[in-house]
């Protein structure tokens, strides 16, 4: 997908001429064998492969070759079809610009968008070997959506991948700028020279712990000089963003030139690039249930159209993904075809990200909800019944107490006047008492 090259590929001879390198017995797989597509036989020093194509084996071989040829032809046709679809580029771009997390969730399994833990921002993580062009892809996506060809590059790009520093610090890029809907996250490249465990350790940290803008990504195999240099570059000012984003989907980026070189050169050093792609791409850490990452290959502008089709067909068969639907060819071009490819890739990534948003921990089905409501109503009715019974039992005892101890009504009685008696004490006669 993408690019301006226009070729005629209606003739079968053109397909047969270029397709022989796609065979598993071609230099992409073996160094000393070549496949004759017409009769399915193998020409080599030994006759082992020729013997294996007898009977049913030969039939299966020819069927597989025909499938590869059909896939190759379909890929070539997709480039022409892409030019027709470019007329609807504006509408497709508006769909991406108006995107809000949770807006594309499908109502399946009796679940509604409210049943999902929808993030504020959909985070798409870019991974890939060094020199694959992750930062360049971010700049190209930003320019397409902002419709500003003269906007400065947002992501730092190494001019020479062999001597450049690359990306060591996690960088977040909101798409478009000042938006909170889509975040492209660029991080350190996968190592082709290090062991498989080093890449898995980094991917596990990113996919399970989340990503945070500005965090430094170090490997155990990094030299002390490099670690010291990177820590010096960090220039910590005491403020660390507390916003950690969970990755919602992965965009895997590879260099088309490096893939083609690995296909045609079976040397151990060249094959190591492909082996790293296979190991990391198929890692369960990067998959969301049955969804593998979307694959983007760059530098197609430096390849012929037939080579670009070969690379896509080869990667599709190698990784087990459809080359015309899950592999996107994004060259270093600004034409309408490349812009359409970028929009299609973003739409694919966002739709699959929403499909795998985590569900809320307390999501209940319709049956469970009704059952819970019945329990709550039963408890409420029981509580009301108990309250009424208690009130009825308490009322008679209160009346009997009043009857047993009636209130006394105080009646004011008239005061009786005691008649005054004339009585005088003769103190002289009783003086002897003192």
Across the chain, mean pLDDT equals 78
- Inside any domain, residue 187: yes
Average pLDDT over residues 47-74: 71
- Inside any domain, residue 186: yes
pLDDT at 7: 41
pLDDT digits (tens, 9 = 90+) for 256-285: 999 999 888 777 677 889 999 999 999 999
Average pLDDT over residues 141-168: 76
Where helices occur in 320-365 by DSSP H, the ranges are 336-355
- Inside any domain, residue 278: yes
Total number of domains constituting the chain: 1
228-246 in b/e form (b: 16+ CB < 10 A) is: eebeeeeeeeeeeeeeebe
Distance in angstroms (rounded) separating the CA atoms of residues 338 and 76: 15
% of residues, the chain, pLDDT over 70: 70
**pLDDT: is 16 or 348 the higher one?**
348
pLDDT at 41: 42
- Inside any domain, residue 371: no
Residue with tokens 């301006």: 4
Domain ranges, residue 260:
119-226+241-355
C-alpha Rg value of the chain to the nearest Å:
41
Q: What is the CATH number of the domain that holds 142?
A: 3.40.50.300
- Inside any domain, residue 400: no
pLDDT at 3: 54
Distance in angstroms (rounded) separating the CA atoms of residues 81 and 1: 9
Nearest to 296 by CA among 266, 338, 252: 252
- Inside any domain, residue 113: no
- Inside any domain, residue 342: yes
Residues 6+ apart with CB under 8 A from 200: 280, 283, 285
- Inside any domain, residue 292: yes
Distance in angstroms (rounded) separating the CA atoms of residues 208 and 285: 8
Average pLDDT over residues 361-383: 71
């Amino acid at each position: 997908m993408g690019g301006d090259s226009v070729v005629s590929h209606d003739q079968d001879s053109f397909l047969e001429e270029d397709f022989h390198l796609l065979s598993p017995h071609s230099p992409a797989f073996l160094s000393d064998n070549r496949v004759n597509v017409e009769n399915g036989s193998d020409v080599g020093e030994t006759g082992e492969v020729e013997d294996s194509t007898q009977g049913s084996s030969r039939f299966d071989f020819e069927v597989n070759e025909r499938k590869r040829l059909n896939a190759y032809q379909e890929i070539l046709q997709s480039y022409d079809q892409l030019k027709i679809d470019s007329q609807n580029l504006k509408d497709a771009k508006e769909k991406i610009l108006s995107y809000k997390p949770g807006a594309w969730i499908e109502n399946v399994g009796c679940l509604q968008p409210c049943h999902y833990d929808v993030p504020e921002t959909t985070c798409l993580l870019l991974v890939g070997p060094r020199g694959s062009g992750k930062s360049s892809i971010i700049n190209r996506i930003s320019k397409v959506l902002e419709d500003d060809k003269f906007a400065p590059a947002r992501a730092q790009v190494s001019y020479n991948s062999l001597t450049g520093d690359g990306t060591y610090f996690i960088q977040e890029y909101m798409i478009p700028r000042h938006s909170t809907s889509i975040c492209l996250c660029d991080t350190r490249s996968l190592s082709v020279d290090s062991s498989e465990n080093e890449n898995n350790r980094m991917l596990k940290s990113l996919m399970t712990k989340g990503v945070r803008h500005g965090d430094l990504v170090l490997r155990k195999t990094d030299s002390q000089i490099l670690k010291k240099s990177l820590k010096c570059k960090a220039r910590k000012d005491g403020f660390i963003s507390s916003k950690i984003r969970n990755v919602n989907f992965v965009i895997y980026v590879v260099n088309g030139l490096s893939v083609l070189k690995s296909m045609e050169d079976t040397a151990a050093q060249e094959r190591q690039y492909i082996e790293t792609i296979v190991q990391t791409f198929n890692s369960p850490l990067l998959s969301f249930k049955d969804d593998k990452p979307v694959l983007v290959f760059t530098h197609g502008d430096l390849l012929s159209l037939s080579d670009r089709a070969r690379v896509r067909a080869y990667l599709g068969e190698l990784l087990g993904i459809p080359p015309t639907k899950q592999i996107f060819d994004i060259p270093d071009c600004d034409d309408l075809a490349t812009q359409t490819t970028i929009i299609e890739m973003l739409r694919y990534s966002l739709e699959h990200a929403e499909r795998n948003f985590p569900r809320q921990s307390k999501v209940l089905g319709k049956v469970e909800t009704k059952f819970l409501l019945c329990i709550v109503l039963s408890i409420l009715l029981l509580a009301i019944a108990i309250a009424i019974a208690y009130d009825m039992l308490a009322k008679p005892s209160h009346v009997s107490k009043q009857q047993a101890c009636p209130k006394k009504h105080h009646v004011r009685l008239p005061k009786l006047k005691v008649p005054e008696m004339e009585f005088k004490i003769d103190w002289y006669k009783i003086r002897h008492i003192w």
